[in-house]
Structure 1
Amino acid sequence: MDSEYFLVDQGLAEPAPLTFRYHRFAPHSEFGRHRHRWGQLSRISLGLMELLLEDRRVVTPAQYLLWTPAEIPHAAYIRHAMHYTSIYINREQAARLPAHICLIEQTPLIRALLDDFCQRQITVISDPWDARQAELLVERLVRAGHEESYLPDSAQRLLQPILQAIRQDPADATTLKQWAERVFSTERTLARLFQRELGMSFGQWRSRARLVEALSRLKQGDSVQDISARLGYATPSAFIAMFQKQLGDSPERYRRQLLQEGQWQDGVNV
């Protein structure tokens, strides 16, 4: 393969069954094309992480874990200052997870198990009780299901112009029925294609696109009122409700976290 391991990976023993590493990243941290010896779960404290593959881009918000199997070449980009946790998984346990890069939702139990490891700054697991906790964590990861990307793309000819338009202007309020007329299709056909190609409804995909834009604008310092108006919400409360549903937190609390974590200026390679 033409992609190199990071130097810190080369000295790591195989996880038993997990190995944790903790970092703080500066805004706009970029990591060139590389690969890992072990399957890797990436956990970020807030914001978005982008993984760049040969054929697609995977966007991950903080409520998901990013699963990257061993030996898959990729590059990465982190938009905001944040805490970052890398969790390596040994070959036996990694074989139970998907064989491709995907997102795994942090259910309440998965989050609690990870929070406990992270709060104690566990790196190599040696305690028998921690080993049992790690086994439970992997079991819950296997059962949690997965998504291909938070904001998936599609080359399907009817969907492509719709997705492109919303990416360029997430506030676009064109209904699915109106889109059907524009692309010479039917509302039912488009609804079926969204589910088949993207695994979600038109409304869900557009809400996610709006959230990605909102995160960027919160980082720039825009007010909640301005963002809600820019994204086409009738009231700020409607925007706040969407934000809380997607991230489990309010926009203002998210902004405070950005301000706190944005004081770091040290980026460390994954």
Structure 2
Amino acid sequence: MNWTTPDPSMRCGHDDEHQTLPHPVTAKARNYRNGETPIHTHPRAQLIYAGSGVMRVETEAGCWVVPPVRGVWIPANTAHRVIMLGPVQMRTLYIRPDAAPDLPGHCCLLEVSPLLRALILALLEEPLAYDRDGRAGQIAALVLSELRFLKLPALHLPMPAEPRLRRLCETLTADPGHPATLETLAEQQATSSRTLARQFQRETGMSFRQWRQQARLVEALGHLAGGMPVALVAARLGYRNASAFTAMFRRTLGVEPRRYFSSPPEAEARP
């Protein structure tokens, strides 16, 4: 699939009021048991947030695992796909591009603050075509203000553009335990592993070793979200024991695996 030139049939939402209303911010709630969306775009910028459950968001530039309390910022007209890792309560903000010109021009993972979660729920309780001069308009203004103060955590898996390196990364994304390395790729291509390493660093901003650990972490989050025991996840990813895996997880994300997915209940969220 060519991410850079999505088929026009994959562009969705253009006739959806969430995209066409003059309101600067609209909110949408959808619940999924599982599955994935096709690759598509929106004319508005988008914050994808899980009230509960875990999603994996993929773009040409990389992929992000999105547990509760985090969201993915997607600029307008960016081709993306969302994969549900089990049941998901998806809460989405659609933001008119000119309403938030100082927000990132690239996809990134955001920490969704308790205040923003409350504002999303409050906006969902208002009519879609809300009174922009009334209470809902004030909520929307607060949403735009709060978005500017959100933190950007480091959990992102960038993909290189160079074809050989991208194929290697796609292999490891599909199977993080695969033995492929830059050295084996260099032997196959009759080139220097140091040359590939420099190119990898230049294209992704990470060393290959850092990238590989990140790929394993992203894969681990998917398994943990599905309820797989920590010990089994550690074994699947090649760690010598659960303690070694837990130490890496805590060092990278600041919490133990079993605490990463904790989030406040959203029973009050509109389906």
TM-score higher than 0.5 here?
yes
Identity %: 30
Residue of structure 2 in register with 1:82 after alignment: 88
Which sections of structure 1, spanning at least 5 residues, go unmatched? 262-267
Instruction: Verify the 8 A CA contact 1:172 1:232 in the aligned structure 2.
Output: no
**TM-fit CA distance, 1:221:** 4.9
1:37-81 deviation per Cα after TM superposition (whole angstroms, max 9, x unaligned): 4221111244232346xxx37422126533333345555432321
**TM-fit CA distance, 1:163:** 2.1
Q: 1:173 to 1:220 in 2, by over 3 A?
A: same
1:69-109 deviation per Cα after TM superposition (whole angstroms, max 9, x unaligned): 33455554323212211111123224333555x12432xxx
Structure 2 residue 244 is the aligned partner of structure 1 residue 238: yes
**TM-fit CA distance, 1:188:** 4.5
Q: 1:15 to 1:192 in 2, by over 3 A?
A: farther
Residue of structure 2 in register with 1:115 after alignment: 117
Structure 2 residue 108 is the aligned partner of structure 1 residue 103: yes
CA separation in 2, counterparts of 1:235 and 1:252?
16
Q: CA RMSD in A?
A: 4.0
Taking structure 2 as the reference length, what is the TM-score of the superposition? 0.69
Relative contact order higher in (CA < 8 Å, ≥ 6 apart): 1
Aligned residues: 248
Written as runs of structure 1 = structure 2, the 5 A alignment for 1:3-152 is 3-5=11-13, 8-9=16-17, 13-16=21-24, 18-28=25-35, 30-32=36-38, 34-44=40-50, 45-51=52-58, 56=60, 58-62=62-66, 65-72=71-78, 74-99=80-105, 102-106=107-111, 110-118=112-120, 120=122, 123=126, 126-127=134-135, 130=139, 133-140=142-149, 150-152=156-158
Which sections of structure 2, spanning at least 5 residues, go unmatched? 1-7
**TM-fit CA distance, 1:179:** 6.4
SS at match of 1:5: coil
More displaced, 59-68 or 83-92? Answer: 59-68
CA separation in 1, counterparts of 2:80 and 2:64?
14
CA separation in 1, counterparts of 2:169 and 2:224?
23
